Structure 1
Amino acid sequence: MQELSKSQQGRIAIRMFQTLADAMAIRGFYRPSGKSGQMLANCLKMLSPEIYGSMNDSRIIELKGLEYVLDRLPKGIEQCVRIILTAQEELEDTSFERVEPPKRRRTSFRISDNEVSFVITNGVSEIYDILTHLTFLCIEAHKIRRQIHTEGGTETRNGKAGRHRSQRAGSQRQRTGSATL
């Protein structure tokens, strides 16, 4: 049997991603760490877009990819446990805070500290874009967690060293009165 070329694999991954995203839209929800979220992650890894760099290398945290994604999603998205996609634009006249990402004109509203709602105005391609970014964010979060904690939940040497460095930096900031962003 002949092996698939890279472009054939890419087309299959795109079709699978679109099919999964459409199914989730019909169902109305998905869990990034659930079965459907894992299937989206597998499609994205198979496609391996260049903008996400070394996403497929479990040893490397893709900082440039994270920066790219976080610049195109609303601030604080990493703290959200519920993300709503809606076509309703009536949120303008509510008490919800309007949040726009720095590098993408995408209307979204902060519903609560851990909830955000995206107003979908550009159709299904916007949904694919959001799901792709959220999936990449989830992939990198799992890699970070694996570097900080073992399977049993205990902290790894890297995790302890990182915590120690951040505590030292915090003490240094207190003494000098400076902060880093």
Structure 2
Amino acid sequence: MGNQNLIWHPTVVSKLDRHRLNNHKSCVIWFTGFSGSGKSTIANELDAQLYLLGIRSYLLDGDNVRHGLNKDLGFSSEDRHENIRRIGEVAKLFVLSGQIVMTAFISPFKQDREQIRNLFEEGEYIEVFINCPFEICEHRDPKGLYKKARNGEIQDFTGIDSPYEPPNNPELIINTDQFTVKEAVEVILEYLRGRGIL
């Protein structure tokens, strides 16, 4: 419920002004998928490649954000909804600032992702489903979280005792059991070029 006494304060420098200054458009690239699917790895490499191209970008990673902005949230369904809501609002500010922002979050619920999509103008929200078979993600287990979840040390873990709802119509699907990190990044860069963002 919003405060009725708050009014959005317009800025002198617009988003389009920032696009002209940067010589590229802004958007959010929303990576979703199981833990261990490769979201953070691909997002980090994409950020590095954008940097080399002189593109203003920033990566919001799920674990990093939970160290600060969202450190008061747990992993219940309610807290997961709030975690994603906050990230969507932060991502919107980055897009308004003229940057390409990448978000690497499991973001397991379709409704949450659709609510985030609705924050953005057409073409500014790019959902990238990092599709990897659950068994491979669990086998990779880069942070040892699946093992802890199987041992009952972690509750509400996506794929084990909490659901993951894959996107119906993402802008991109990347199968990380078939693509290398560099190949995956090139697919995304080609998409951005094709859409006139870069």
Same-fold status (TM-score > 0.5) = no
Name which structure has the greater RCO, CA cutoff 8 Å, separation 6+.
2
Q: Given the two structures, how large is their TM-score scaled by the length of structure 1?
A: 0.25
Q: Which has the larger radius of gyration?
A: 1
Q: Given the two structures, how large is their TM-score scaled by the length of structure 2?
A: 0.24
